[in-house]
Structure 1
Amino acid sequence: MLTVKKVLNNNVLVAEHPNYAEVILIGKGLGFGKKTGDHVADEQAEKFFVLKEEKEQEQYKQLLDYVDESFIGLMNDIIEIVEERFSVNLHEHIHIALTDHLFYAIKRVKQGLDVKNPFLPETELAYPKEFSVATELVDYLSNQLDLDIPPGEVGFVALHIHSALTRRSLKEVNRHTQLISELVSVTEEALKLKIDRKDVNYLRLVRHLHHAIERINKGQYFDNQDSLKKVLQAEYPVCYNLSWKLMKIMQQTLRKAIPEAEAVYLTLHLQRLSKQ
């Protein structure tokens, strides 16, 4: 039996747990009639999670001030789907971040507003599994609420999922997606072409950029391509020079040194694209 510390609403309460200090318990009617000091069996809860940091506990309590109980229940179903698809226990912050995001997203849909997502193609390519699950979640929400949620939301939800899975801040995840989009735009301008987003060479470029950024951030980039670099510089000077321009943008955004070997890989990808 756990001791009730605070009732947040009829379905959500904060309880004292012998192993985790405070936990959030969620279940239909779980908080009804309960008061501080009462006992509650943890098996009565459909879901419980730990908000270890006091700041996150406070944020979640504030969330419940404006998000209705039925939506909280819906969000817990959604988060359970994500955990099942990836076979993980997600960082608890997703209960705050994703609930808050989707609550306002649905509010905008009901008001007839549509926030465009300019990074949708890059998000799908960078995080295909997250994007697939996000598509499932948006479809589920649309059916449950009888709403036509715009496709752009799939990208935003995918970024939230990736943030929770990797325990990287949403700000950092967003910055990487925007960086890839910027690099693609600079490439189009420099090569004077409109890249077909379904072209296999575009898919290869974006996936390469995504993996390169990951490796650079983790300090796992040890390639050496000096001999090939000189050949490409002579054979494809336009693409080679463009590769260095892209690397400079990456360096400014990531604030990390970009290995010179990256010029080789980028030049090869850019040369394939330039054939369009």
Structure 2
Amino acid sequence: MALVLDDEQKEWIVIGKGIGFGMKLGSQIDETKVERRFLAADQMNQVISRLQEFKTQSLELTSSITKMVEKELKFEFSPKDYLSLADHIDFALTRAHEGIELSSQSIKWETKKLYPHEFALAKKALAEIEQTAGIPLPDSEIFLMTYHFVNAQAKESKLQETIQITNLIADTMKIVNLDYPQLDRESFNYGRFVGHLRAMFIRKLKDQANDETPLDKALLEVMIGKYPKEYATVKKLSEFLKTKKAIAITPDDEVYLLLHIVRVTNRQEAE
């Protein structure tokens, strides 16, 4: 890492393997070694201080991994997201050396299903970290790193929001699985259900109105009569989300939830 001036006398923080080695004040850096650059701003001292805390190996891994992800997902990490990922990798290596694992059992499958491309890249990133650092990392790091890749692409979302939505989906599916323990998590209908839940929770958390035309109220009554068992599960979900998560479920929401539960459970029972 080095602090440099360009031809316009603007200050930049540059990162690259061996970029500052043997350099003196005023020396010309090797441009081919620059892997990442940040335009120095008012918070420059904080950024430099934070970067200096990271292991050199962590920064090199971060540069390599962000290149891979940016190429595959066709976007560029912001300085904030880059530093966030570097911090995660650095702390992950520290946790691995100390034998500390952050468990994520309840959200593993939902993460894989919601973000398959990011999940696949996270697996590649973990393999590179393990090979470079020479230390095994727990599988939970794959899921945590997936969140970083998802968040880096979503300019208006935050990492905490991504995790919150995934946790909400995991909690919801736990309730469904209590009534229907033999569900096939790899089925198409299960995946559609999870996708619907994600869209619904994003809308609820952002307090956005549903743009769709309201459904006929009689439709829910008809479906309740036809699918009483599945509707009982919907009511459990509705009560849980209202009392535990402060999320209100409307009659229209109940119709769509009921439809998805009918699809995913009836298909499973038929098979």
TM-score, normalising length: structure 1: 0.80
Larger deviation, residues 153-162 vs 264-273: 264-273
Specify the code of the residue in structure 2 equivalent to 1:105.
Answer: A
Deviation of 1:218 (Å) = 7.6
Equivalent position of 1:71 in the other structure: 58
Q: Where do residues 161-240 of structure 1 align in structure 2 (5 Å cutoff)?
A: 161-167=149-155, 168-189=157-178, 191=179, 193=181, 195-216=183-204, 217=206, 219=208, 221-223=210-212, 224-226=214-216, 227-240=218-231
TM-superposition CA deviations, 1:141-174 (whole Å, max 9, x none): 2222233322221111110111111032211111
Higher strand share: 1
Query: Which consecutive unaligned segments of at least 5 residues does structure 1 have?
Result: 1-11
Of 242, 248, 262, the match for 1:271: 262
For 2:12, the aligned partner's letter is V
1:79 to 1:263, Cα distance in 2 relative to 1, 3 A: same
Q: Is the aligned partner of 1:131 residue 2:119?
A: yes
Partner of 1:8: none
Unpaired stretches in structure 2, ≥5 consecutive residues: none
The C-alpha deviation readout for 1:55-85, integer Å capped at 9, x for no partner, is 5x45543333432223211211111111111
Given that 1:51 and 1:92 are in contact with CA atoms closer than 8 Å, whether structure 2 keeps it comes out as: no
Partners of 1:214 and 1:246 in 2: CA distance: 17
Looking at structure 2, the residues matched to 181 and 200 of structure 1 have their Cα atoms a distance apart, in angstroms, of 17
Give the one of 94, 97, 102 matched to 1:115.
Answer: 102
Q: Residue 251 of structure 2: SS of its match in structure 1?
A: coil
Paired AA for residue 242 in structure 1: T
State the alpha-carbon separation in 1 of the partners of residues 78 and 133 from structure 2: 26
Q: Which residue of 2 aligns with 1:152?
A: 140
* Deviation (angstroms), 1:212: 2.5
Q: Which residue among 232, 237, 243 is the counterpart of 2:234? A: 243
Q: CA deviation at 1:127?
A: 1.2
Q: Secondary structure at the match of 2:100?
A: coil
Instruction: Classify the secondary structure of the residue corresponding to 2:185.
Output: coil
- Are 2:151 and 2:158, in contact at CA under 8 Å, matched by a contact in 1? yes
Q: CA RMSD in A?
A: 3.1
Higher alpha-carbon deviation: 212-221 or 234-243: 212-221
Could you state the TM-score of these two structures normalised by the residue count of structure 2? 0.81
**Structure 1 67/79 Cα, relative in aligned 2: closer, same or farther at 3 Å?**
same
- The whole-number CA distance in structure 2 between the counterparts of 1:154 and 1:257 is 32
**Deviation digits for residues 12-59 of structure 1 (CA, Å, limit 9, x no counterpart):** 1233457895432123332234456x264583442233367645x455
d(CA) in 2 for partners of 1:157, 1:102? 9
Conserved in 1, the CA contact under 8 Å of 2:20 and 2:29?
A: no
The answer on whether the counterparts of 2:122 and 2:142 sit within 8 Å (CA) in structure 1 is yes
Mark the CA change 1:31 to 1:52 in structure 2 (over 3 Å): closer, same or farther.
closer
Question: Where do residues 10-49 of structure 1 align in structure 2 (5 Å cutoff)?
Answer: 12-16=1-5, 21-34=10-23, 38=26, 40=28, 43-49=31-37
**Counterpart of 1:234 in structure 2: which amino acid?**
G
**1:52–1:170 Cα change, 3 Å:** farther
Aligned to 1:102: 89
Tell me: CA distance 1:273–1:149, structure 2 relative to 1, closer, same or farther (3 Å).
same
- Give the direction of change, closer, same or farther, for the CA distance of 1:162–1:58 in structure 2 (3 Å limit): farther
- Relative to structure 2, which stretch is displaced further, 173-182 or 106-115? 106-115
For residue 20 of structure 2, give the secondary structure of its aligned residue in structure 1: coil
Change (3 A) 1:256 1:40: farther
Superposition deviation, residue 107 in structure 1: 2.2
Residues 256/135 of structure 1: CA separation in 2 closer, same or farther (3 Å cut)? same
Q: Does structure 1 residue 50 correspond to structure 2 residue 55?
A: no
Residue deviations 1:94-124 (CA, integer Å, cap 9, x gap): 2221111122222222333333222111111
